[in-house]
Chains A and B, each alone.
Chain A
Amino acid sequence: MATKTFAGKIIEINEEGYLVNASEWTPDVAKEIAAEEGIELTDLHFRVLDFIRDKAGSGVALTIRSIGNSGIIDIKQFYQLFPGGPLKKASRIAGIKKPSSCV
């Protein structure tokens, strides 16, 4: 496994750049990962990230639709906050695993 320094901490990441341990996540780590994605995080971003981290912890599959039903933002805003593959980007910034769509 590779490691990378985010916000002064050495953090383990997988080959696609996702955090290996969700527990190593901090808001500052999120800001730096977001910067790599070209995103500057606002309060609204953080509310969505919190929702995603909660949902991931509960073991229920995370979907774009579930974020649209979160009461925080609708799907259109989700695409605006995390342009180009919002679920993958938001998951990476939230420090959780890449969502796997099961077929």
Chain B
Amino acid sequence: MKKILILGGGTAGTIMVNKLRKALEREEWEITIVDQHRTHYYQPGFLFIPFDIYTRHDVVKPKGDFFPAGVNVVYAAIDRIEADRNRVHLEGGTFLQYDFLIIATGTQTRPDQTPGLKDALWYKEIFDFYTIEGAVALRDFFRKWEGGRLVMNIADLPYKCPVAPLEFIFLADAYFTKKGMRDKVDITYVTPLPGAFTKPVATRMLSELLQEKNIHIVPEFYLERIDNENKKLISYDEQEVPFDVLAIVPLNMGSDMIARSGLGDDLNYVLTDKHTLRSEKYENIFVLGDAANLPTSKAGSVAHFSAEILFENLMSAIEGRPLLAKFDGHANCYIETGFGKGSLIDFNYETEPLPGTFPLPGVGPFGLLKNTKMNHYGKVLFRWIYWHILLKGKELPVEAEMTMAGKKLWKF
């Protein structure tokens, strides 16, 4: 029996285990998936919890419900990969042997890495919404809050779902407007980026929205520490931003297991060939999802698009053929903008987000870089698609490779 081992049973690992079990003969290939937790979180749903739109119930299901029959499931923390001997050590001293390994251990928030963050105000006046605990604690805070300075900060780059903090402030604007207290809430967006987003066309569209909604932006702010006593963010170059309540995306890092295995960069992201999705160090190791150091968004849509490429290349590697499928960095994100509207961006390694329609040229139904009701429904639908189609590794009516059809090229 030959063995495929998948590390991490989140979005990427679950998509892959479903694809592989379908494609490979059971008599020939044993497939094993390892994760430390039994609960699968629909992470995009965390965004809606602070505003009482989703509850915990909407975003959790047992991981086991999404693994196919005929695979071994191991619930254990992974200690390290010993790639020279094709084996993975689990906590507690056991190990698993593999012929091919797929790393899909994602990225985690690390509030412990910023001085003063996980301190006196943590979950009292400082919250993240990238974990279920943070999202629920912030909801409870907002229900009773009477107003003041709300600051949204991104501690460092890269972080998963790069549009989520923008969506957060758009939803906050709508939430406090509906509560009739928007005039009592001052909203500021504090980012290490030079503007609302990195790419020029999307930045322009998003900056206009910020202005329209009376949200202030503090760009090029690189967080050093948090002063709990005076409730201030302090940057490395001594800029200060005061807050009454702080929502923050803490530093994101890959699993420490990657560092212990000697396979990662400074932030524990696995060094990965951005086209073939194979480890740069070992021919029988592939990487999927947020765990890889690819120069594109860390997002569920990327895990989905790249899964098809990884699948093809793994099949080639198994048969000893060259790896011909090439990932183009395709990412596609709905952006909730509040008041039942949304926007949509579609881009890859080479092409920045552009206006137009998606997925059908000229038809849509979704408008790229436009603020429409239809895009909001796209986001709402996405939760259903996530649980019922995406995780199961089924095809969506969207190509893995980005297309220029339906996009407008803008020149300045």
A contact set with B: CB distance below 8 Å: 60-61, 63-66, 69, 75-76, 78-79, 83-85, 100-103
Smallest Cβ-Cβ distance to B349: which chain A residue: A102
Name which of A65, A83, A85, A102 has the most chain B CB atoms within 10 A of its CB. Answer: A102
* CB-CB under 8 A for A102 and B198, given A61-B295, A79-B237, A83-B237: yes
Closest CB-CB distance, B362 to chain A, in whole Å?
Answer: 28
Contact between A75 and B236 (Cβ–Cβ < 8 Å)? yes
Contact between A103 and B297 (Cβ–Cβ < 8 Å)? yes
Tell me whether B193 is interfacial, beta carbon within 8 Å: yes
Smallest Cβ-Cβ distance to A88: which chain B residue: B194
Q: Which residues of A contact B266 (CB under 8 A)?
A: 63, 65-66, 69
Tell me whether B222 is interfacial, beta carbon within 8 Å: yes
Tell me whether B111 is interfacial, beta carbon within 8 Å: no
* CB-CB under 8 A for A101 and B193, given A76-B224, A76-B236, A83-B237: yes
Contact between B236 and A103 (Cβ–Cβ < 8 Å)? no
Contact between B220 and A101 (Cβ–Cβ < 8 Å)? no
Smallest Cβ-Cβ distance to A102: which chain B residue: B295
Inter-chain pairs besides A61-B265, A101-B192, 15 sampled, C-beta below 8 Å: A65-B156, A66-B265, A66-B266, A69-B266, A75-B236, A76-B224, A79-B222, A85-B220, A100-B198, A100-B295, A102-B297, A103-B158, A103-B162, A103-B193, A103-B197
Closest CB-CB distance, A19 to chain B, in whole Å?
Answer: 20
Smallest Cβ-Cβ distance to B333: which chain A residue: A103
Question: A64 to B237, alpha carbons, bound, how many Å?
Answer: 13
Smallest Cβ-Cβ distance to B159: which chain A residue: A103
Q: Which residues of A contact B158 (CB under 8 A)?
A: 101-103
* CB-CB under 8 A for A84 and B198, given A63-B266, A101-B158, A103-B162: no
Contact between B157 and A63 (Cβ–Cβ < 8 Å)? yes
Q: Which residues of A contact B295 (CB under 8 A)?
A: 61, 100, 102
Tell me whether B296 is interfacial, beta carbon within 8 Å: yes
Q: Which residues of A contact B193 (CB under 8 A)?
A: 101, 103
Q: Which residues of B contact A102 (CB under 8 A)?
A: 158, 198, 295-297
Q: Mark B57-69, 1 if CB is under 8 A from A, else 0.
A: 0000000000000
* CB-CB under 8 A for A64 and B198, given A102-B296, A103-B297: no
